[in-house]
Amino acid sequence: MIAAHCTSGKNKSTSRRDENRRLVDLHHHQPAQSCENDSCNLTGHMRNQIKPPSHRLSRRDLIRGACWGAAAMTTVTTTGCVPSSGHGQVELVWGRRGQSSGRFLKPRAITIDRNDQLYIVDTTGRIQVFDRDGNWLREWRTPQTKNGRPTGLAIKQAEVPDDDLLLVADTHYYRMLVYTLDGRRVQEQEIGGTAGRNPGEFAFVTDAVADRDGCFYIGEYGDSDRIQKFDPDGKFMVQWGGTGREVEKFVRPQSLLIADDVLWVADACNHRIQRYDISVPTPRWIDAWGSQGDQPGQFHYPYDLALVDDGGLLVCEYGNQRIQRLNADGSPRSIWGAPGFEVGQLYQPWGLVIDSRNRMHILDSNNHRVQRTRLPA
């Protein structure tokens, strides 16, 4: 193991922690400041544009207080019987633009461990860790950031929680990094580092996850829109996919999620979700959900996925700037969020997680913050 620089929350003042964690008073909230164009955004595709507000957030306006009012509910125009906004009231908004501890510059990925600690990486290459109430705990940096920063995080669970590991999709360095949950780098378990199309080589790595047997699944886009599988020792096993619009092909498999023996893939630029049975040596295609659009059950750049206890799915849509909840059969159930800067609105979100209390934490990326709310009903 090689130790990485890791700063402990015990060495930071309570005032700084409280400054960056706040419950929002909806009657005094001001919209967050926007940011410049994201250098890692897809090219050649239309993006939803939002006019940036003319002023910054005021610290005094972001104070602790209750925010269970109906103002947290945003309106989404839908058709049929799918509820707009779903009944998810915003409980907590935390983070703001900046480079000090507890602040973000366009956070790109989020994951959560068994203790409800949230791991967030932004475009500075920092991995910051927070508790479920937004209290900053610790941080460290990835080893290189000149070429670009990571876009995927996942927890690899071990037999005991203390042995769990953080998997990092180090996108522009063609590899999967591995850390202990306190920030110590585990180089002997890392995979990749060489650009290419051969087995064990990568284009731009999007995400990395592990199944219950310890095998790794790594997605990539660019020259190779594919998924590669490796055994627990990092030996290549199989690959599938390739660039294309037809099923079983991908255009930027941005997020991977494993539940039991099913691998879910957010096929971002094909605007759909694909599922695979991974109980067999060569993963078998099951089905695909969705098509491009802004109606319930349609997607516009789905960037992240989270599984609900009832077997349903939450989908974070970068393009539609909303969260969709789907039933276990893929049918739409509810929608939360809309484009904007206010509480309950989103500006190009990249990710989300669900904690042990059944609340979702949304990575509101270009608003440089996290919003916590109950699941859309």
Summarize pLDDT for 136-159 with one digit per residue, the tens: 999 999 999 999 999 999 999 999
DSSP string, 3-29: PPP-EEGGGS-HHHHHHHEE---TTT-
pLDDT at 89: 85
Q: Alpha-carbon distance 30 to 55, whole Å?
A: 8
Q: Alpha-carbon distance 123 to 210, whole Å?
A: 24
Q: Alpha-carbon distance 295 to 292, whole Å?
A: 9
Give how far Cα 267 sits from Cα of 99, 244, 249, 257, 264, Å.
31, 11, 9, 12, 9
Please list, residue by residue across 255-276, b when 16 or more beta carbons sit within 10 angstroms of its beta carbon and e when fewer do: bbbbeeeebbbbbbbbbbbbbb
pLDDT at 316: 98
Summarize pLDDT for 236-257 with one digit per residue, the tens: 999 999 999 999 999 999 999 9
Q: Using the 8-state DSSP alphabet, how is residue 371 labeled? A: E
Alpha helices, H only, the chain: 14-20
Q: Which domains does the chain have, with CATH numbers?
A: 7-374 (2.120.10.30)
Low-confidence stretches of the chain (pLDDT < 70) are: 1-88
pTM of the model: 0.83
Residue corresponding to tokens 């989020």:
110
By C-alpha distance, which of 176, 162, 252, 171 is closest to 210? 176
Q: Alpha-carbon distance 95 to 84, whole Å?
A: 26
Summarize pLDDT for 99-131 with one digit per residue, the tens: 999 999 999 999 999 999 999 999 999 999 999
pLDDT at 377: 82
Residues 6+ apart with CB under 8 A from 163: none
By C-alpha distance, which of 323, 351, 348, 365 is closest to 90? 323
